[in-house]
Structure 1
Amino acid sequence: MSNQQADVRDSAQHAPATGTLLECTNIVKGFGGIPVLRGISLSLEAGTITALAGENGAGKSTLMKIASGQYRPDGGSVEVQGTPLPAGNAQAAHRLGVAIVPQELASILELSVYENLFIGRELRGPLGLRRGAMIEQAREQLAVFGLETDPRKRMGDLPVGIRQIIEIVKATNTGASVILLDEPSSAISEREVGRLLEVMGLLRDRGVALLFTTHKMEEIRAIADRVIVLRDGELVEDRPLAQLTDDDIVTAMIGRELEDLFPERGVPASEVVLELDALQVPGASEPISLQVRRGEIVGLAGLVGAGRTELMETVFGVRKAEGGEVRVRGSRVKPGEPAAAITAKMALVPEDRKGAGAVLPMSVLDNGTLPGLSQFSIAGLLKQRARRARVGEVMDSVRLRSRDLDQSLETLSGGNQQKVVLARWLTDDVDVLLLDEPTRGVDVGARSEIYRIIVDLAASGMAVLMASSDMPEILSLSHRALVLREGAVAGELSAAELSGAEVQDRIFRLASGLEVTGAGTAAAEPADAPRKDA
C-alpha cells in the first residue's frame, strides 16, 4: 500500500466526533402563505443515523434544505457544532461541514468521476492540473468505500446508485461531519441499496451524523438508530427505532390507523380487452403473448432490467415492436404510434413521473388536459369552462390535494403529482390502463389512496397491466402475475398461487432463472379458474 493510500485510509478511520453536530431550533417556513414547517426542533448526534419519515408534502426536503443552507427559514435557527449557521448560506454550511446529497443528484454528467470528486479543489502544479495525481487519489478514495469504478469514466455513464455513492465520497473528502440524504434509494436497484446502506454504516462508524429520508420501512429497520416523523409540517415523533413498531411509524406519518392498505379486488369479466399476439419487444429474448380481461389487474414482476418498462412502452407505441400485434377490443393498434394507442383508448402512466409523466412547471389544469386537449378545443380555441369543469371532476375523484387547478405541479407532493399523471387520462374513456411503477417515490398514505384508485378503475371496467418492483403490490393488487426475465415471460402465477406461503421465493427463482418453466405465453384464463403451474 502506498503512503498516500495509507493516508486516505487513515483519514477514513479517524477518531469519531462526539456530541451534537447539528441542531435545528423552532424552524418555521412557508411558501406563498402556505405553512410548510411549523416550529421544528431536532438535533443530530455524532455517529448516528436518523431516519426522517413522513408523507410527501410533510416538509422533509424543505427541512433538509434549510439545514444545508439552501433555504432561508422564516423563523428559528440552525447551529453546526455550536456555531450559528447564517440563514440561507449554503457556502457557510459547507464550510461548517454540512453536506446534502439531493434526490436529483448534482453530478456533472459530462465530466469524469475524478473531475467530479475534485471540482473546486483541483490539484495544480507548475505545468497546470495534476490529472494523474487526481486520478490516483480518486481511485484510492473510492476504494475506501468499496468502489472499483475507473475514476476516468464519464459520470453520466454510471448507474444512479454508483453516482450517489460518489457524491457521498465527495462530501466526506471535503470534511463533512453531517450528511443529509434526500430519498437516496428512490431510483436505485436493491443491490445498489445494499451497498448504499453499507456506506452509511461506515460513515456512522467514522462519527458522521446522517439524516436520510425514505418511504421504505425495511430500510429504516436496516440502518436507522432513530426515527423522526413529520406530519403536515409538525414534528410528531422523535424516538429511538428500538422503541417503535412499523405500525407506530406509519400511524405517526398519516395520523390514523392504516387498517387495510390494499382494498379488496373485484372479479374480472370474461371479455378480453387487451391482447398481445407474439409481440416482439426490441431487445427481448422472446415474443410475448398475453390477454388482459375487463376488470382484471395483471401484474408484471421481475428483477431490474427484466424488460417490464420496455414491454409497457412497446404496447403503448413509445417503442416500435419488431413483430407481432397489439389489439384492443379485437382491433389492431398501429405499432410505434402513441397517438394510435390513445385513439384505441389506452393510457400509460410511466415510471419516470418527473421526466416523462408530467410537466412540472405547468399547472394541474394544463397537465390534466395534455393527453386529450382536442376534446376541449374548437378551431384552436380552448373551451375553458368545460376544460376546468372536467379536470376538476377527475381530480376530485382521485382526492387530489392542491390549492386549486392553477397550482403548478412542482409545488405538489410526489403522491399528488402521481395522482395528476394518472387522473389526466380520465377526462376521456379509457379501456386499457398501463401502470409502470405506480407508487415509486410515493409515501405510504398516498400509496393507500393510489391502490384504491387502481382497484376502483379496474372495477369500472378497465383492463390494467401493472409493472412493479414492490412485491406487496404485485401480490395484493394483481388477479394474476407474470414474471419477466430478459424481456420474456418466465412464468405466470394465478390468484391462488399469489397467496401461497412460498410465492416470493418462487417469483425470485423465476426472475433469476433458477426455475425454468419454458413459458413464453401468458394464458388468458379467468383469475379464479383452476390452473396448473406454468
Structure 2
Amino acid sequence: MEDVALECRDLDKAFGGVPVLKGVSLALEAGSVTALAGENGAGKSTLMKIASGQVKPDGGRVLIGGEPLPHGDPQAAHRNGVAIIPQELAPIMDMTVYENLFIGRELRTRTGLLDRRGMARRARELLDVFGVEIDPQATMRRLPVGLRQLVEIVKSTSGGARILLLDEPSSAISEREVERLYAVIGRLREQGVAMLYTTHKMEEIRALADRVVVLRDGGLVLDRPIGDITDDEIVHAMIGRELQGFFPDLHAPGDEIALQVSGLHVSGYPRPVDLTVRRGEILGLAGLVGAGRTELLEAIFGVRRSTAGTVTVAGRPVRRNAPAAAITGGMALVPEDRKGAGAVLTMNVLDNGSLPRLSRFTVAGWLRQRSRGRQVGAAMESVKLRSRGLSQQVGTLSGGNQQKVVLARWLTGSVNVLLLDEPTRGVDVGARSEIYRIITELAASGMAVVMASSDMPEILSLAHRALVMRGGAVAGELAREDLSSPHVQDLIFRYAAGLNPDSAPAPRHTEKEGR
C-alpha cells in the first residue's frame, strides 16, 4: 500500500491497569480523510496521542511511510510530518498571527534581525492558499476560535506536516467557521495530506470522510468506506446498541409563567431583552457565535452584570447581579464551559454535587455527610450517572458524565428555571441522547428550560419555541410549527445575520411571547 502515510499496528495501552486501547490497527492514506468516531472514553484521544508521539503504547507500533516511529517522541513525529491540532488550542494569544505561524522557524534578515515584514508577507501568502482572510498583523486574542484553529492548521502544514490529526475541530466554532474549515480540509486533501478527524457529529462524518473508523471500549469495531455504511450502522457501532428515539417526544407546556424577563439590559449590549417562559416549556436560543446568548443567560442568573430591567421567577422578583438570590429564587445555570466554569475536575462527584447548595448540607459549619451523600446520590441516580461511585474524581469521567454531574447537582433542591448553555458540547452521541431525555423529563415535570445551542437539530427538535438572537437582542421568534418548516434553517440564518426574513423561501409564522 504505497499511498499509506501512517499506519498503526496492534496498539495496546492501559492506564492504571485499565485497558484503553486493545489491539487497534488502522491506516491513513495520503489525500484522504478518515473519521475517527466513538463515545467519550472509547480511546480516540489516546490513539491520537500515540500516533503523534506524545504517549508510548504498551504494545504495537506506529509506522510513517513504512518506517517505525520512535515511541513517545513527539519531536520525531514532527520531523516525520505528523501534526496534531488538539481540541484545546494553545496559541500564544498576545503574539500576532504571523509570529504564531513562524514561531521556532523565524525568518531573519542578512544582519540576523527578525524579518518581520518578510514573515507577515509570507503569512499572507500561506493564508491566501487556503482562502482564509486573516490579518497577519492581528493578535491571536482578537480572532474567534475558528480562525485560531485555521491558523494552527496552516502553521502545521506550512511546516511540512503531511499527516494531520484533528481532535474535534468543530466543537467550539460557528456554522460559518465550520464551512471555512471544510474548505481548508478540501484543499489539504487535494495537496495529498492524510487526515484523521475525530467528531461526534454524523453530518461531519458524512460531509468529510472517505473512511470511518469506530472505537468502542478501546477496541476497533468498524473500519469501512463511508459510502458502504449507513448513519444507523455507525451509531450502532459506537454505542453497541440501537438508538431509538434520539430526540424524545415533547410534552405540552403549561399556561403558568415561570420566568419573565423585562427590559433586561445586559452590560456591553445596546438593547434590552424581554422574554417569558412557561412551566414545562423549553425555549431555545439560536444565533451565530457572538450573538449574546451566553451573556443573556449569565445576566438572567446574575453572574454577568445587567444595568436595568427585572427578572421574575414564579411571580417573585429576583435581585439582579446576585447569583445567590437567583439560586434561592429557584434558578439553576449549566454553563457552556463545564471544565472551566462548571465542574471542579479535581474534586469527586459528591463534593461537586454539593457545591451549589453547600449551606443545605451544613449545620454550624459542619457537613451533614449522611444527608449529603443521600441527596447527591439520588440526584446522580436520576440522571443515570455512570461512575464508580460518589468518591470518583470528576476529571476521570467521560465528557457526557461530567455534564450530568454539572446538571444533576442542581436537583438536590427545588428548581423552577433551568438555564442551559450548549448542554451537549463535546458530548458523544450516546450521552447526548440521555441528556436530551433528562431535559425533556425535567420540562415535563414543570420546570421551565432556556437552552442556548449552536447545534441546529437541538433547537429544532427540543424547543417548544425559539428566539433568534443578534447583537445581544432578540431578532426573531419561531413557534413550534415554524421549527418544523423545511426552510426554517434559512429563516433562522436570516434573522441571525440581520437579513430580511420575509424573503425566506417558506412563509413565516410567528407567535407572541408566552403563548
Aligned equivalent of 1:295, options 280, 283, 294: 280
5+ residue gaps, structure 1: 1-16, 526-534
Can you list the C-alpha shifts for 1:156-209, whole angstroms capped at 9, x where unaligned?
221111111111111112211111000111111111111111111111111111
Aligned equivalents of 1:51, 1:329: Cα separation in 2: 47
Can you list the C-alpha shifts for 1:342-379, whole angstroms capped at 9, x where unaligned?
11110001112222222222222222211111112223
Aligned to 2:60: 76
Aligned equivalents of 1:332, 1:430: Cα separation in 2: 15
Matched, 1:123 2:107: yes
Q: What is the identity, as a one-letter code, of the residue corresponding to 1:312?
A: L
Q: 8 Å contact 2:266–2:299 — kept in the other structure?
A: yes
5+ residue gaps, structure 2: 503-507
Aligned to 1:57: 41
Q: 8 Å contact 1:288–1:521 — kept in the other structure?
A: no
Shift of 1:112: 1.9
Distance 1:128 1:312, change over 3 A: same
**What percent identity do the matched residue pairs reach?**
66
Aligned to 2:261: 276
Aligned to 1:375: 360
| Aligned residue runs from structure 1 range 463-482, under 5 A | 463-482=448-467
Q: Which moved more, 1:450-459 or 1:406-415?
A: 406-415
Q: 8 Å contact 1:35–1:233 — kept in the other structure?
A: yes
Aligned equivalent of 1:304, options 271, 277, 289: 289
Q: 8 Å contact 1:333–1:344 — kept in the other structure?
A: yes
Aligned to 2:485: 500
Question: Matched residue pairs, number?
Answer: 509
Shift of 1:138: 2.1
Shift of 1:210: 0.4
Can you list the C-alpha shifts for 1:254-277, whole angstroms capped at 9, x where unaligned?
112222011122222222111112
Aligned equivalent of 1:100, options 80, 84, 88: 84
Aligned equivalents of 2:457, 2:226: Cα separation in 1: 23
Aligned to 2:388: 403
Shift of 1:285: 4.6
Aligned equivalent of 1:328, options 287, 310, 313: 313
Aligned to 2:72: 88
* TM-score between both structures, scaled by the size of structure 1: 0.91
* TM-score between both structures, scaled by the size of structure 2: 0.94
Matched, 1:258 2:243: yes
Aligned equivalents of 1:494, 1:121: Cα separation in 2: 55
Aligned to 1:30: 14
Aligned equivalents of 2:476, 2:509: Cα separation in 1: 6
Spell out structure 1 runs of 4+ moving beyond 4 A: 516-522
Q: Which moved more, 1:333-342 or 1:265-274?
A: 265-274
Aligned to 1:198: 183
Q: Which moved more, 1:57-66 or 1:514-523?
A: 514-523
Aligned to 1:216: 201
Aligned to 1:454: 439
Aligned equivalent of 2:335, options 345, 350, 356: 350
Shift of 1:392: 1.9
Q: Which moved more, 1:285-294 or 1:423-432?
A: 285-294
For the aligned residue pairs, the C-alpha RMSD in angstroms reads: 2.1
Aligned equivalents of 2:116, 2:499: Cα separation in 1: 46
Aligned equivalents of 2:13, 2:393: Cα separation in 1: 19
Matched, 1:109 2:93: yes
SS at match of 1:441: coil
| Aligned residue runs from structure 1 range 413-432, under 5 A | 413-432=398-417
Aligned equivalent of 2:118, options 130, 133, 136: 133
SS at match of 1:274: strand
SS at match of 2:6: strand
Distance 1:111 1:427, change over 3 A: same
Can you list the C-alpha shifts for 1:313-338, whole angstroms capped at 9, x where unaligned?
11101122222100011111111111
Matched, 1:524 2:514: yes
| Aligned residue runs from structure 1 range 142-221, under 5 A | 142-221=127-206
Q: Which moved more, 1:53-62 or 1:400-409?
A: 400-409
